[in-house]
Chains A and B, each alone.
Chain A
C-alpha cells in the first residue's frame, strides 16, 4: 500500500529539503576540485591525512554543538573550556610525575581529569540554563569569560608547558597512526558515528529535536525537558574534553590564546552543515562536512598564493554567510508551496 513508501520517505526528512541536505557535500567537492586544480598535491595522501587530523578538533566539538543547537540552545564557552581544560590537564600531569612517574598512569590520570572537568563544566552550563532559567547565550557568555580568565590565571599570564619527560609518552596520541589513519581521525570518526546514531536513531535524539521545535509540546508530551537540555550541554563538555585530550600532545602547552574563536568555528561548522540555528532540526553528517569545509579553505589558502593566507577568516566568513543564505532561500520556497 501507499503507506509503506509513505513512511520510508518520512524516515529521512520532509520533501523539498533535498538540495539543502546535499549542499554541504557539493560545496566540499567543489572545494576539493578547486584545491586540486590549483595544486595537484592537494589530493596527495599526506595532505588528506593532515586535513582530516586538523578537522578533528573542531569537528569533535561541533558534534557536541549540534546537540546543543538542535535542542534550541547555544554554547559559546567551548573555546575557553578547551583552553582551561588543557591548562588544568597539563598542571595535573606535571605535578603527578613525582608520584606516578612519567608513564601511562600519569597521562591517563590527566585524561580522566579532563573528562570529569569537561562533563562538570557542561553540567554547570546546562543547570544554569535549565534550573536557573537564564538564557543559554548569557550563561555561556559568562562561563566563556570565566574559563578564559582562569587559564590566564593558571598560566600566570604566560604559557603552561607539559614537562618534557612526559612528551614521549603522550605524543603518540596526536602523531601516531593506526591502520593508516592518525589517532585523532579515529576519535573524530568514533564521535561522529556515535553522535549520528544518538541523534537519528535514539529516543534521546528525537527528544532533542522535539525540544528545539517547541518546548511546550515537548513538555506536554512527557519529555523531561530540563534533563534532556542539560544532557546536551554535558555531551558538549564531553566532546570538548575529548578534543582537548588529543590537542594537548600536539603542542604540549596551553596559554590564554589556546582555543581562541573555536566556539565560532564549531557553531559555523554546525550551521554550514544545515542544522537550524533556532533548533528543531539537526544534522550530524552536515556538521562533519561543515568542519571539513572550514579546514579545507584554510588548507587551500596555504597551498596557493592567489589569495593571502591572512584572508582565511574572510573566506570562512563568506562561506558561512552564503551557506545560511542558501538555507533561508530553501525555507522560504518551502513555506510558499506548503501553505
Chain B
C-alpha cells in the first residue's frame, strides 16, 4: 500500500478509517492523504463512500474506527463545520448560502468585521469587491443571492472559501452545475490556490476534468480503497475500469437503425415562448433525438413549454397527428408525454418520502379504485420499477433523499414509466451519476426506443448525445442552430453550432 499514515508532510491524512451507519458499513479501512499544494481527486461510483469519506475529513462525521492526522499529529476533528477554524473547508453539493442576504453579507457571514458593535460595511464591501474581481465573478457585492444564477452561486461559495484562507479545501462535485467556460475559470482558481500551497480534495464524475486538474487520484469502490496513483499514470479508461472493476467497452448500447418512415409522433412548428424563438422539429416513433447546446440555450424551455410547464406564445404542436396545446402537465401526461426534469432533488422527487409514494405520484389516477388508492397495485408498481431499472436501495424503507444519485435517477425513470408514455423527454439524465449507472441508463434509453417509444435526450455531455442519439438538434440563444444526422454527429460539428460558428440556413 502506498500509504503511510503518519507522513509528516501530509496536511491531512486518514489512516484505516472505517465507518458504519447503524449496522450498515460504508467505509472499510480506507487510507487517504492530502499534501499541501496538490489537487487530490477522489473518484468512485455513487455509493462508493466518497461523500462519507469527505464528511469525515471535514469533521461532519466521526469515523467508527481509524485515525485522522493533521500536520502529522493525531486529531479529532470538531463537528458541524467547526473544522473550518483549523483551515479545513468542505463545500457541499447543496449551496450553503443565505438566499435572502446579499453577496457581501454572505461572504462575511459569521465573521463580520465590526468596531464597537457596529458593522464596518465599507471595509467589508471593498474586501468583497477585491475577492470577486480576483475570481472574475461579475456580480455586485450588494446583489441578493437569490437573484444569482446557479453557476454564480457556486462561484460565490468557492470565493468565500478562498477568502477564509482555507488550508484544505474539500469540494463535492463543484463543476456539476458549471458550464464549460465557467469550469475553465474555476480550474484557473483551483490551480492558483494549489500554487499558493492549499491542499485541494476534488470529487467529480467527469473523468476528463479529473485528468485535467488532479495531481493524484484515489479510487474508491464499494467502500474499499482501490488505488492512489499520480494522475499522469492513469488514462480515462483506466480510471473507469478501477471504479467499476470491470471493462466498460460497451458504455453505449448498439443503436438500432432509425426507421425514417416511422410515423411522426410529435411535430413542433415555430414554437415561441419568452425564451425560445421559432423552434421546429419532428420526432418519429422509436427515435432517440438529442438536444445539445450550451446551458441556458433554451433546450429545457422548449420541452417544458410543450408539457404545459411554461407559457407558449406562438406556434403549433401536433401530437399523434392531432393539434394539441397542453395547458397543464396532467394534460400532457394523459396524452402520453413524460418529462423527466434535470433537477432531481428540487423538482423530481419527494426527498422526505419513501420510494412508494414517489414512484406512483405522476400516474396516481391510475392507482385509484372506488375513490381509494389501491395499495396493492402501488406495491406492484414499486416492485416493477425496482426490477426493471435495477434500483439498489440499502434498505427498502430508505428516505429517497438518502439514496445515491444513480438510484434516484432510476427511481425517476420508474416513476415516468408508470404512465406508459409514448414520448419520454429526459433532461440531463446522467448528471452527477457514476459511469456504471450511466451505462445502465444509456441501455434503458436504447431499450425504450427499441420498444417503439420516442425519446428526447437533452444533455450538455456531448459524448452521450453522440453515443445514443439517431439525430441531434443543437440550440443556441433560444433557436435551433442546426441539426445533425448519422455520421455528421460529432463534437466538432456540435460545438460549431453551439458556439455560433456555424448556422443552418
Q: Which residues of chain A have a CB within 8 Å of any CB of chain B?
A: 2-4, 6-11, 14-15, 197, 201-203, 206-207, 209-210, 213-214, 216-224, 280-281, 337-339
Contacts and interface: CB of A to CB of B under 8 A. Distances in A.
A11 B386 CA distance: 17
Given A217-B347, A280-B352, A222 B362 contact: yes
Contact of A3 (B61, B361, B375, B396): B396
A336 to B, nearest CB: 9
A14 B397 contact: yes
Contacts of A6: 396-397
Contact of A206 (B328, B354, B361): B361
A197 B356 contact: no
B373 A206 contact: yes
22 contacts: A3-B383, A6-B396, A7-B379, A7-B383, A8-B379, A201-B373, A203-B365, A203-B368, A206-B357, A206-B361, A206-B373, A213-B353, A216-B346, A217-B346, A217-B347, A220-B341, A220-B348, A223-B329, A223-B361, A280-B353, A281-B352, A338-B399
The 10 lowest CB-CB distance pairs between A and B, nearest first, are A6-B396, A7-B379, A222-B329, A222-B330, A216-B347, A222-B333, A221-B361, A213-B350, A10-B356, A221-B362
B351 A203 contact: no
A281 B379 CA distance: 20
Contacts of A206: 357, 361, 364, 373
Contacts of B332: 222
B355 interface: yes
Contacts of A213: 350-353
B309 A219 contact: yes
Contacts of B383: 3, 7
B304 to A, nearest CB: 9
B328 A14 contact: no
B181 interface: no
A210 B361 contact: yes
Given A202-B368, A203-B364, 13 more contacts: A3-B379, A10-B355, A10-B396, A14-B354, A203-B367, A203-B373, A210-B353, A214-B350, A216-B346, A217-B348, A219-B309, A338-B401, A339-B402
Contacts of B339: 220
Contacts, number: 112
Given A6-B397, A7-B382, A217 B349 contact: yes
Nearest to B363: A222
A10 B328 contact: no
B260 interface: no
A220 B365 contact: no
Contact of A224 (B330, B350, B356, B402): B330
Contacts of A14: 353-354, 397, 399
Given A216-B347, A222-B362, A224-B330, A201 B353 contact: no
Given A222-B330, A281-B352, A10 B397 contact: yes
A151 to B, nearest CB: 37
A301 to B, nearest CB: 38
A8 B396 CA distance: 11
Interface residues of B, number: 47
Interface of B: 21-22, 55, 61, 309, 328-330, 332-333, 339, 341, 343, 346-357, 361-362, 364-365, 367-368, 371-373, 375, 378-379, 382-383, 386, 396-399, 401-402, 415
A133 B21 CA distance: 42
B386 A3 contact: yes
A245 to B, nearest CB: 25
Nearest to B371: A202
A203 to B, nearest CB: 5
B143 to A, nearest CB: 24
Contacts of B356: 7, 10-11
* A2, A4, A213, most chain B CB atoms within 10 A: A213
B373 A202 contact: yes
Contact of A220 (B61, B309, B379, B402): B309
B354 A210 contact: no
Nearest to A204: B371
Contact of B372 (A7, A201, A218, A221): A201
A205 to B, nearest CB: 8
B354 A338 contact: no
B381 to A, nearest CB: 10
B329 A220 contact: yes
A187 B187 CA distance: 67
Contacts of B22: 337
A222 B396 contact: no
Nearest to B60: A339
Nearest to A9: B397
B138 to A, nearest CB: 28
Contact of A210 (B330, B343, B350, B386): B350
Nearest to B415: A221
A15 B362 contact: no
* B347, B362, B402, most chain A CB atoms within 10 A: B347
Contacts of A224: 328, 330
B330 A10 contact: no
Contacts of B352: 213, 280-281
Contacts of B402: 338-339
A216 B352 CA distance: 14
Contacts of A216: 343, 346-347
Given A11-B375, A14-B397, A207-B364, A219 B354 contact: no
A66 to B, nearest CB: 17
Contacts of B397: 6, 9-10, 14-15
Contacts of A207: 364
Nearest to A334: B399
A223 B402 CA distance: 24
Contacts of B372: 197, 201-202
Nearest to B340: A220
Contacts of B330: 222-224
B362 A337 contact: no
B396 A9 contact: yes
Contacts of B343: 216
Nearest to A15: B397
* A6, A202, A213, A224, most chain B CB atoms within 10 A: A6
Contacts of B378: 7
* B22, B353, B373, B399, most chain A CB atoms within 10 A: B353
A14 B347 CA distance: 21
Contacts of A219: 309, 329, 347
* B328, B352, B362, B371, most chain A CB atoms within 10 A: B352
A220 to B, nearest CB: 5
Contacts of A210: 350, 353, 357, 361
Contacts of B55: 339
Contacts of B341: 220
Nearest to A280: B352
Nearest to B357: A206
A51 B354 CA distance: 38
Nearest to B329: A222
A317 B178 CA distance: 49
Contacts of A9: 396-397
A197 B371 CA distance: 10
Contacts of B351: 213-214
A99 B417 CA distance: 61
A281 B386 CA distance: 25
A223 B347 CA distance: 12
B378 to A, nearest CB: 8
A218 B353 CA distance: 13
A7 to B, nearest CB: 4
